[in-house]
Each structure stands twice: as structure tokens, then as C-alpha cells.
Amino acid sequence: MVHMILSKEFEFEASHKLPNYDGNCANLHGHSYKLIVHIKGMPDPDTGMVMDFKEMKYMANKYVVDRFDHTYINDIMDVPTAENMIVFMWNELILHMPQLYKLELWETRTSKVEYRGMSKEELIGTDSITESTGSKK
């Protein structure tokens, strides 16, 4: 069976500082982030869609983008690196988008991190939801 991968891009602005870091990023600064959400699946025989792009947009905005846009990320997690942010985002989205395949988070135009995390079932069976990111839930 051939699967398709759908992708949707989102942009948001946010600030942070990196604790325990020896460099400029220890100071308060901001980024124009780009998040790319990828889902994987087979098109529904009735609709012809893997997922409606409108639904992807709603889910990503509700559970991730709107939570980060124009925020001080240190209020959301203790160590707001791109690596920790993307794990946090995965853990939020996979609960509502079981077809989630991969996330890409661009911190600048030239710096990105990609992540493929646990399935919803695997995630629910662990305590890694807040442990892995140091998130403040």
C-alpha cells in the first residue's frame, strides 16, 4: 500500500532565553519560527483526502501555534531549545492527530530540527509527555 504525506506550514513569533548556556542565546531574544506539520496516510475512499488541510490548520493552531505565538517560551518550558520545543509540540499534536508523521521546526531561515516521535498509544503509556521537554504543565 502506498501512503501519502501531507504537509502544512505555520509561522509564529516568540522569545526565549536559554538557561545554563554560555553564549548570546542566554540573553532574551526572539525568533520568527516556521513549523511544518507532516501527516501520513491513505486517502479516504469517499473524500479522496488523507486529512482536510482545514482540519490540519485548526489542530495545529489550537494545540501548538496559538500557544507559542507572541509568547515568552520560558513560561511554557524550563529549557526552551528548538529540540525541546519540537518534542513538546509532537506530544501535543499526536494526541489529536494520530496520523502525525513528522514535524520540522525552523528557528531561523538556516536552522531547523526534525522530529518523529512516539505514537499516541506509546506516548500515553509513558511519563515522557512532560519529562522529555521539561514543560510546565
- Contact yes or no for 93/83 (Cβ under 8 A): no
Rounded-to-integer distance, Cα 48 and Cα 70, Å: 36
Question: How far apart are alpha carbons 27 and 74 in whole angstroms?
Answer: 12
The helix (H) or strand (E) run that includes residue 6 is strand 4-16
The terminus-to-terminus CA distance of the chain in angstroms comes to 39
Residues annotated catalytic, as ranges: 25, 70, 107
User: 91 with 115: CB under 8 angstroms?
Assistant: no
Report yes or no: 59 and 103 within 8 Å, Cβ to Cβ.
no
